Amino acid sequence: MNRRNFLIQGSTAVAGLLLANSPLRLHADHHGHSHGHTLPKLRYPYDALEPSIDKRTMEIHHGKHHQGYVNKLNAAIAHYHDLEHLSIEVLLRNIDKVPKDIRQAVINSGGGHANHTLFWNIMIPEGREPTGKVAEAIQSTFGSFDAGSEMFTKAAKTHFGSGWAWLVVDDKKKLQIYSTSNQDSPLMKGHTPILGLDVWEHAYYLNYQNRRADYVDAWGKVVNWKQVNANYIAAMTA
């Protein structure tokens, strides 16, 4: 069997099911087509999240770092035309089927693309208090919202090196909080991320230098809990 064609046979059949209720659906439908993946537009101006995240950091983070992941992902799959129309979620959920010679590139750059796409969407100027089903689930799972928040911020503040802190819906429809290194995506574990915080230095160093804890605390003020709740509902009904 031609190795460039084997993935399509295994993943196309499940692509629709994976995307039907996905938190990434808004982007997957038009970010995985014959022209490759593209950088998603932000829903807000670069300066909208100040003072939590400064304008210059947002410009570089979105326009340079995220664009770089998109470019490298497209380069990695350029010779596998059957992969170009698949969403990044399908690729990452089926990472063991991705050809070995490009698998790590898809993990790194594809993960970076998926992670940042979620990241931009779960932030908003003047974030509000969590409500709805996700607030209820956090309280039920972790004992209280404050306990869940403390666990999440600890994961973000204490993660060694570059990576992400996550609130995910796991394969048993339960909430979990953990961190991953580099651009590793929870999607590769069969989990659906509904909230993610980038703790790579490029996400905060211009404004906070080595004070990651201050960045994590400030970021909590711009979380779009309405979107996180929508992500949770979508993941639970998928």
Ranges of each domain in the chain: 6-35+53-121, 132-237
Report whether pLDDT(44) > 90. Answer: yes
Least confident among 2-6, 48-52, 78-82, 222-226: 2-6
pLDDT-derived band of residue 35, with 50, 70 and 90 as boundaries?
low
The per-residue DSSP string of 211-236 comes to -HHHHHHHHGGGB-HHHHHHHHHHHH
Lowest mean pLDDT among 19-28, 101-110, 188-197, 209-218: 19-28
Mean pLDDT of 212-235: 98
Q: What is the pTM of this model?
A: 0.85
Per residue in 160-180, pLDDT tens?
999 999 999 999 999 999 999
Domain 132-237 falls under CATH 3.40.50.1220:
no
CA distance 168 to 115: 12
Q: Which CATH class is domain 6-35+53-121?
A: mainly alpha
Question: What pLDDT, in 10s, does the model give residues 58-67?
Answer: 999 999 999 9
Quote the CA–CA distance of 103 and 152 in Å, as a whole number. 29
Q: Of 150, 66, 149, which is closest to residue 110 (Cα–Cα)?
A: 66
Domains 6-35+53-121 and 132-237 share a fold: no
- The pLDDT, as a whole number, for residue 10 is 41
